Amino acid sequence: MSIEELKLPNEVVETLRRRGITTLTPPQAEAIKKGLFEGRSLVVVAPTASGKTLIGELALINAWLNEGKGIYVSPLKALAEEKYEEFKFWSDLGVRVGITTGDYDNPGEELKQYDWIVATYERMDSVFRLKPSWLNEVKTIVIDELHMVGDEDRGPIVELLAVRSLLNNLQIVGLSATVGEPQILSEWLDSELVVSDWRPVRLIEGFYLSKKNLIVFSDGRLEEVSKKQTLPQHCYVRAVDEDYQLLIFVQARKKAEELSSKLALLSLEEIPETKDLVRELESSEAPKSEIESLSKVISRGLAYHHAGLSLASRKIVERGFRNRVLRAVIATPTLAAGINLPARRVVVYTKRFEGFLKPITVAEFKQMAGRAGRPQYDPYGEAIVADVSSEEEGWAYVLGKPEPVRSALLQDRAVRISTLALIASGDARTFEDLVDIFEKTLAGFMRGRGPSISAVNYGLEILSKEGMIEKSGSLLRATKLGATTSRMYIDPLSAVIILNNLRKIVVAKPLYYLTLIALTTDFSKVRITNYRTYSAEARSSLTMGLIPEPPEDVEEIGYYDWLRAYKIGKILNEWIEEVPEDEIISRHGIGSGDLRILVETGEWLTYAASNICDVVGLKEHAKRLNILSTRVSYGIREELLDLVRVRGIGRVRARVLYNHGIKTVKELASADPTKLASLRSFGPKVAREVIEEAKKLASS
């Protein structure tokens, strides 16, 4: 189908042509034929690089042409930012594109100015709850990575997003590369189904038999591996010799770093093209230890990539690979979660350690295998399973179909959060309303009314007991505590844990508050390891009253969760005491990316705890937690709070100013620009800018 057949305005067709799009791919054409422009909902299951994103964009353009707003949601902030940058292309037509990924308690009225809004799942879920005035202008929602509905953590959020979209009669366009039995999702969402195996580059899958030193491909080819080489060494040498790129997915961060170092030894000389990348890394804000480790392998033309890396390092690695400066990247599966980094050959290790070695699913393998084959450069793509124990296991991955998606909504945590959210938002006012909505979820669609009733009964029982909701006749409503808990976007059980502890004490030191928020269920998904060695130290701190006791009445939290919380609290406490990032990372064995997530989560939960304490009358705790939230955000001691209000002043510059006698915004506003420019981390341009910002604040 040519773009001229789309019956779109000429300016839209011309915009597509400027982007190099003249003909639609088969899944794109099928989506049009099945009613995309008539407002029909669609579930699109097609391989990576088959053009799914453009299907979403065409749906959003159609909404815009019909004077409606469009929403595009994705699971990760990094993905949302990537799509936002892509979609700004449409601004030539006058489409106003915005992005929102945080501020869960903010209704987002300021988003009214945009035609398209890119958001994370969680942020859009909060918008649906808070109901800004522009919400009734939305006509279409595109849900990227729809298979995430089966994820234990984010799945319930996606499910409720979809249900609210159904209740609001929105056109839903769900996109995924890997869904087993997609007709189930299609029927649930009352949508047309587009399933395609078309790829711009042919994918050939295979597996490695270590006992035979042989790679077996599905097209009948056999590739010998030298007995002197491991599979990664063989694949890397071949990629260098034949001038193509390689992705290797391994099970752990340490493995990614170790394997990249081993492969770097195969390149005896530094590659000149990598010098700019190394220089960029050295001038970035990445920790010194990370710069040193990554530079060694980048200079040899390869890198590692995982969630523990700083954002700066991850972006440099991704750009280096995209621009074909890096020959190979060894990554953990986080890279497979949608970031656009294809390669000619993809090698996948399928065993994951979760207390024991556990094989990944076929769907997970297919998600990573989908990265094989780059349309501009590769005649085909190859995906190899690296660690099967038999031919039978290898063929099970290569010929297997992705497993069907299962709902994760009926877990206790998801039920508590969802039930309170539906009542607090006014979407459900009675028991029957709740049951009706739960029946519309994937869980209700697959399991019927009985489990929905049981889930609602559990949710109402726990929320009533904890004073989150109250009943007047048949009507249900959220109390002030319940409404605040929902608005803060936290688990009701987290609020209970916080209040039960803080009602026992008058004041607390920062370490107490930080360990307490780390005990909540909302901190449970943050990765932290090696905390058992803190046992003696934690017990000593408990004896001195510096940290809370493990909650005895919460079955979900045990002794090791308490140790884990202590380690998190200690890390965050060092952060707000301005301990250098490199020192924190080295001392506690975490990555820069881990610290960033701890800080973001800590800022959110201290802020949420402050609001929850305020609504129940714990005013002193509320005040201290509010101050602590800002300190966590910037990583500063309390005396720097005034200075960091100035845009461009963070923890490092604020401390430099303070140590040179500039302690307030007012003093900064009257500072000598020449003297300020001579201070570490400033310079003439920064000095002028921060003084101007300080003057605005001082006069307001």
Per-residue pLDDT of 560-575, as tens digits, reads 899 999 999 999 999 9
Q: Does residue 406 lie in a domain region? A: no
| 69 and 135 both lie in a single domain | yes
Q: Does residue 21 lie in a domain region? A: yes
Question: How many percent of the chain have pLDDT more than 90?
Answer: 86
Q: Which of 485, 349, 399 is nearest to 218 (CA)?
A: 399
Write down the pLDDT at residue 336: 60
The whole-number average pLDDT for the span 657-669 is: 95
CATH number at 338 reads 3.40.50.300
Residue 663 Cα to chain centre, angstroms: 37
| Residues contacting residue 77 through CB under 8 Å, at least 6 positions apart | 101, 120
Q: Does residue 483 lie in a domain region? A: no
Write down the pLDDT at residue 339: 64
For all residues of the chain together, what is the average pLDDT? Answer: 93
| 618 and 537 both lie in a single domain | yes
DSSP symbol at 94: T
CATH number at 557 reads 1.10.3380.30
Write down the pLDDT at residue 198: 94
Write down the pLDDT at residue 267: 81
Does residue 284 have a pLDDT over 70? yes
Question: Residue 348 belongs to what H/E stretch?
Answer: strand 345-348
249 exposure class (CB count in 10 Å sphere: 0-12, 13-18, 19+): buried
| 565 and 631 both lie in a single domain | yes
| 468 and 513 both lie in a single domain | no
Write down the pLDDT at residue 338: 52
Domain end, chosen from 368, 399, 430, is at: 399
| 623 and 650 both lie in a single domain | no
Quick count: other Cβ atoms within 10 Å of Cβ 292? 12
Range of the domain at 669: 643-699
Q: Does residue 576 lie in a domain region? A: yes
* Sequential DSSP letters for 198-252: --SSEEEEEEEETTTTEEEETTS-EEE--TTS-HHHHHHHHHHHHT--EEEE-S-
Domain end, chosen from 614, 635, 656, is at: 635
The whole-number average pLDDT for the span 127-145 is: 96
Write down the pLDDT at residue 262: 95
Does residue 624 have a pLDDT over 70? yes
| Residues contacting residue 198 through CB under 8 Å, at least 6 positions apart | 25, 26, 27, 46, 47, 50
The whole-number average pLDDT for the span 312-338 is: 87
Q: Does residue 255 lie in a domain region? A: yes
* Dihedral-angle region of residue 145 (phi above 0 means left; psi in -120 to 50 means alpha; beta otherwise): left
Confidence of residue 365 (pLDDT cuts 50, 70, 90): very high
Question: Residue 65 belongs to what H/E stretch?
Answer: helix 52-65
| 285 and 379 both lie in a single domain | yes
| 156 and 245 both lie in a single domain | no
Q: Give the side-chain half-sphere CA count within 13 A for 537.
A: 11
| 46 and 186 both lie in a single domain | yes
Does residue 143 have a pLDDT over 80? yes
Q: Does residue 31 lie in a domain region? A: yes
For residue 372, the SS3 value is strand
Q: Which of 345, 297, 301, 300 is nearest to 321 (CA)?
A: 301
> Measured between alpha carbons, how far apart are the two ends of the chain, in Å?
58
Under a CB-based contact definition with an 8 Å cutoff, are residues 253 and 592 in contact?
Answer: no
Write down the pLDDT at residue 553: 62
Q: Does residue 404 lie in a domain region? A: no
| 40 and 186 both lie in a single domain | yes
Domain end, chosen from 611, 635, 659, is at: 635
Question: How many percent of the chain have pLDDT more than 70?
Answer: 98
Confidence of residue 355 (pLDDT cuts 50, 70, 90): low
The whole-number average pLDDT for the span 491-515 is: 95
| 589 and 651 both lie in a single domain | no
Does residue 389 have a pLDDT over 70? yes
The whole-number average pLDDT for the span 274-291 is: 92
Please write the tens of the pLDDT for every residue from 38-64: 999 999 999 988 999 999 999 999 999
- Lowest-confidence range among 5-9, 86-90, 188-192, 599-603? 5-9
| 449 and 545 both lie in a single domain | no
| 588 and 664 both lie in a single domain | no
Does residue 268 have a pLDDT over 80? no
Write down the pLDDT at residue 671: 93
The whole-number average pLDDT for the span 667-691 is: 93
Q: Does residue 430 lie in a domain region? A: yes
Total domains in the chain come to 5
Query: Taking the model in full, what pTM does it have?
Result: 0.91
